[in-house]
Each structure stands twice: as structure tokens, then as C-alpha cells.
């Protein structure tokens, strides 16, 4: 199976320098980029069927966390924006549970695809995770499941929406709400958001769309799924340095195992 059999490279000529520059400019301007209909219909159907066949292997988590994904700060009140808790719940299958013949592996391992991502993200080169679980993940959110407000630890995320639910499952965000590198956590604005006093943007995606998102300083969430159709999303995770593994504590939290 070739990359052109999976991705619509006529609509999205990822090897073209001009197209790369336009994508890079859009990501810089908006903090997010949607490549609509990137997956060809047959490839989308194959990935969806794989996901349904392996959904019984998913590890489900339901937990509460603060938006900074950090341990609680005992020096601050429990109702301080730094410590306020939100809910997250989802299922996940890991890289070692993705079939070797999956179109997702063709995409993930394609040098042309990685070169395109690196060009858009302005990174010299991208590397897979060194651990056996974290490079490709499929996430499932059935009725009532959600991803609570948070900032990412990583500088970018790359996702493919495989199945859109009947309702809910909307990706909401506010870009540049903090400046993590400068140590500015912007507790006041986070508190306003958690109190429902801030307007948010929605990143509209359909099944087959790829999304780039810079979530380190953009707070974001996925609203609860509504209806009988499970939201299915693939995360393609890369690193900017070689031989990086997700921490053991994170693997236990997200996957329930180390390998």
C-alpha cells in the first residue's frame, strides 16, 4: 500500500514547497490547521473498521485533573484555578495494538509525510516514540465521555478524526491563554473560563480530516459525546528528539501498562 492510496495527495500536495508554506502560515496565524478530507474514503473505511474490531482492547480511564496536568499545589486553595478539577474519560488502544498492515502505519512511517510535518511545524526532523505504546493511539469516546480543559505538555498534536459522533465531541479552544515558556500561567483567565465567562473557538473537523494543533499555550477540551455513535480519533505522536519515551507514570495513567 502506497501513501497515495491512503491520502488525497492531489488536494493536499504535501511534497510541494508552496503548499507547505501555506500550511505553515495558516498554522502560525491560527494556532491550528485542518487538512479537510486528507484520508481517501477507502482508507478511512479501513481505519474505521480496524478501530471497531480492536475497540474491545481499549483501556478506559476516568479521572479528574487540573488544567495544567500537574499535581495539586497545596499552597493554594482547592478552588484556585491552579487546583480546580475537571473530568476526562476515554478509551485508548496503543501502538502495539495497531495492526502491522494498518494504513495508519504507512502514514506514520512515510518519510514524505514526516518531512511535510517537519516543514509545517518548523522542526528539523521528527522521531517516533522509543516506547512500544505511544506513537500511534486510537481514542474512543462514547456517550458522556469527554476530555476536560487542559494545556498540553508537548508543543504540537497531530490527529485524524475517524468517526464523528451524532452530537457533542466538539474540539473547543482558546489560543495563547498562557505563556508556559515565560512561566505565565494566567490563572485569572483560566478561572473565568472554568466559570463559563470566556468565549471559545471551535475547531470544526469531519471524518477523514487531519488536524495540527499547538496546545502547549492554547487551553482546549473535547465536549461530551452525545448519541450512540462513538467518537474515534487517531493521535499520531512524534518527538523532536530521538529515543524519547513517554514517562512510566504517564503510560500507567493513559494505558494501564508500561509495555
pLDDT tens readout for residues 113-165:
999 999 999 999 999 999 999 999 999 999 999 999 999 988 899 999 999 99
Alpha helices in the chain (DSSP H): 3-6, 17-30, 41-54, 103-109, 111-121, 187-194, 248-255
Q: How many domains does the chain have?
A: 1
Q: Average pLDDT of each block of 10 consecutive residues along the chain (259 residues)?
A: 96 98 96 96 98 97 92 96 96 97 98 98 96 97 96 92 98 96 97 97 96 94 97 96 89 89
CA distance 162 to 58: 16
Residue 154: predicted pLDDT: 87
CB 116 within 8 A of CB 77: no
CB 131 within 8 A of CB 259: yes
CB neighbour list of residue 229: distance below 8 Å, 6 or more residues apart: 163, 164, 165, 166
Residue 137: predicted pLDDT: 97
Task: Give the pTM.
Answer: 0.94
CATH number at residue 148: 2.60.120.620
User: Vertex 53, ends 48 and 57: CA angle to 5°?
Assistant: 115
Domain that holds residue 213: 3-255
Residue 247: predicted pLDDT: 84
Quick one: angle between helices 17-30 and 111-121, nearest 10?
50
Amino acid at each position: 500500500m502506497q501513501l497515495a492510496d491512503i491520502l488525497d495527495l492531489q488536494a493536499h500536495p504535501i511534497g510541494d514547497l508552496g503548499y507547505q508554506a501555506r500550511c505553515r502560515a495558516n498554522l502560525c496565524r491560527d494556532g491550528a490547521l485542518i487538512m479537510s478530507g486528507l484520508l481517501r474514503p477507502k482508507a478511512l473505511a479501513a481505519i474505521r473498521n480496524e478501530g471497531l474490531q480492536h475497540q474491545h482492547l481499549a483501556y478506559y480511564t476516568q479521572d479528574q485533573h487540573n488544567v495544567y496536568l500537574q499535581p495539586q499545589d497545596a499552597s493554594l486553595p482547592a478552588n484556585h484555578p491552579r487546583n480546580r478539577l475537571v473530568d476526562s474519560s476515554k478509551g485508548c488502544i496503543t501502538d502495539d495494538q495497531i495492526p502491522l498492515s494498518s494504513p495508519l502505519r504507512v502514514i506514520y512511517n512515510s518519510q514524505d509525510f514526516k518531512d511535510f510535518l517537519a516543514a509545517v511545524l518548523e522542526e528539523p526532523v521528527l522521531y517516533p516514540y522509543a516506547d512500544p505504546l505511544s506513537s500511534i493511539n486510537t481514542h474512543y469516546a462514547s456517550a458522556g465521555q469527554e476530555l476536560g480543559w487542559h494545556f498540553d505538555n508537548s508543543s504540537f498534536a497531530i490527529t485524524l478524526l475517524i468517526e464523528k459522533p451524532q452530537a457533542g465531541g466538539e474540539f473547543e479552544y482558546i489560543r495563547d491563554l498562557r505563556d508556559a515558556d515565560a512561566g505565565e500561567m494566567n490563572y485569572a483567565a483560566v478561572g473565568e473560563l472554568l466559570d463559563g465567562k470566556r468565549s471559545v473557538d471551535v475547531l470544526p473537523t469531519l471524518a477523514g480530516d487531519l488536524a495540527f494543533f499547538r496546545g502547549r499555550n492554547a487551553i482546549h477540551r473535547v465536549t461530551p459525546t452525545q448519541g450512540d455513535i462513538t467518537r474515534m480519533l487517531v493521535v499520531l505522536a512524534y518527538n523532536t528528539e530521538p529515543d524519547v519515551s513517554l514517562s512510566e507514570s504517564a503510560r500507567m495513567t493513559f494505558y494501564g501498562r508500561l509495555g
